[in-house]
Amino acid sequence: MKDEIPVVELVESKDINARTSLMKQSIKQSLLETGGNVQQANRQAYKDMSTILYVVVTLGLFYLEVLGGIFIQDITIVFNFASALGVTCLAFWFPAGYYLKAVKKFEPEGERYITMSWIFMVLGVFNFILGIAAAVITLVEAK
């Protein structure tokens, strides 16, 4: 990137004008990354989706919720599925994924931590499988 912003100057600078200038450069750089199109940077994903796909997915999720409400007798089963996904995302997938994304953006040199984040992703998959298996066992035993 040719117009890279020096982060060190922003932290060390006490001058408000210098900080404002660096913030403006940062905004210009982010606009350059999106092709200078402010509307493209601020767009909402559902507006880019085809109407038919949006309606089908929305109705599918609605019917899944209705069927779950009809056939699932105990709310703890729903909480088991939600916690299996939530814990896995918060403890494993989000930290590892954000670190990998930061590596691409800031290019640190430490390969050891990249390997560790991929290990976290794999551990997250195992944790998710075990959590879903426990939820399914609870669902089967409830009947």
Please give the full DSSP string across 56-101, using - where no structure is assigned. HHHHHHHHHHHHHHHH---HHHHHHHHHHHHHHIIIIIHHHHHHHH
CA pair distance 69, 97, nearest whole angstrom? 33
Q: Is the pLDDT of residue 113 over 60?
A: yes
Give the sign of the dihedral formed by CA 38, CA 40, CA 45, CA 47: positive
- Quick one: what percent of the chain has pLDDT higher than 70? 64
Give the sign of the dihedral formed by CA 16, CA 18, CA 22, CA 28: positive
pLDDT category at 114 given cuts 50, 70, 90 is confident
pLDDT value at position 56? 95
